Amino acid sequence: MNLLSFLLGGPQRTLYTFSSVMPDLAHTFPELHALHAELSRHLDQNLPPDLACEKAVQAWQSGLVDLTLMFCDRAAGQMDLLKAIALNRQGHPHAALEVLKGQEGALSLVHQGSSLWQLGELEEALDLTQQGLDQARKERNGTGIISAVCILGEVLLDLGQHKQAVVTLAEAFKVAEMMGQEADPYALAITAEAHTRWGHPRKAQATVEKVFSRTRPFEMAHVRAQISLGAIEPAALEQARRVVEALGWGFWQKRLQSRA
């Protein structure tokens, strides 16, 4: 299984929130509530690692970060990179860093940078993510380049460097074009916020609409676009809050609290 094909967010299991997301999930996303129940039944079985990998991917692509982590634990170490990314999304950057210590390659460096960004260590995050980007370029790893550029964009926004964020994120679009793919929706979502801060709200809104047209409400790019739109339309932030609370995305819950 190629983990890189679907990326683009050990520790004790008590870190994982499970039942706490269920009531909000049932109300916000009834279809995901049903999927959550279906996938959860597999946890009562003696899953072979390959099937655990498959279910981890399915859970992740559906925004179910709690189940993603549980299936990763059953995958005999094959999904540790995804586990770290999921821990970051759940708001456990220290635990993610512990997992990433055993990983090599560009994406490990990039997501260590993401952990440091969450911890507010912005200069260190910038440096480590840049190292990941440099390595991804050497590896000709398109997914790694796009992931790195997205994290760099987030860090640069937090540093108040919105113009540099736009310039940096442009590489994600160039790489996607070279790979014969559409522009990465998460990169578009971050770019929208950069445009807003740069004083181009119409461009930001047009960019957000592109993301909405290509993503589902429980996908990270869609939520990130809502957050970007929130600077122009506050109601979009409320929608984003409902989603991250329902899905148990702890980092983004904390992030949105600071924007209240």
50's tokens: 């390959």
pLDDT at 44: 87
pLDDT digits (tens, 9 = 90+) for 38-72: 999 999 889 999 999 999 999 999 999 999 999 99
Quick one: pLDDT band at residue 24, thresholds 50, 70, 90? confident
pLDDT tens digits along 179-192: 999 999 999 999 99
Residue, of 61 and 23, whose pLDDT is higher: 61
Residue with tokens 């200069």: 123
Model pLDDT for residues 204-258, shown as the tens digit of each residue:
999 999 999 999 999 999 999 999 999 999 999 999 999 999 999 999 999 999 8
Q: What's the half-sphere exposure (Cβ side, CA atoms, 13 Å) at 170? A: 7
Alpha carbon distance 81, 210 (integer Å): 29
Please give the average per-residue pLDDT across 11-22, as a whole number: 42
Q: What is the pLDDT of residues 79-128, one digit of tens each?
A: 999 999 999 999 999 999 999 998 999 999 999 999 999 999 999 999 99
Specify the pTM. 0.90
pLDDT of 167 > 80? The answer is: yes
Give the C-alpha separation, 153 to 105, whole Å.
Answer: 20
Helix spans in the chain (H): 22-28, 30-42, 49-61, 65-73, 80-90, 93-100, 106-118, 122-139, 142-158, 162-178, 185-198, 201-214, 220-229, 234-247, 250-257
CB 55 within 8 A of CB 66: no
Measured distance CA(146)–CA(163) in Å, rounded: 18
Q: What's the confidence (pLDDT) of residue 1?
A: 37
* SS3 (DSSP) at 13: helix
Conformation bin of residue 105: beta by default, left when phi > 0, alpha when psi is -120 to 50: left
Confidence of residue 21 (pLDDT cuts 50, 70, 90): very low
Q: What is the C-alpha separation between 125 and 145, in angstroms, rounded?
A: 16
Please name each of the domains of the chain with its CATH number. 21-78 (no CATH), 182-260 (1.25.40)
Q: How confident is the model at residue 260 (pLDDT cuts 50, 70, 90)?
A: low
C-alpha distances out from residue 210 to 9, 151, 183, 215, Å:
21, 20, 10, 9
Higher local confidence (pLDDT), 3 or 93: 93
Predicted local distance difference test score (pLDDT) of residue 131: 98
Band of pLDDT at residue 5, cut at 50, 70 and 90: very low
Checking if the pLDDT of 178 tops 70, the result is yes
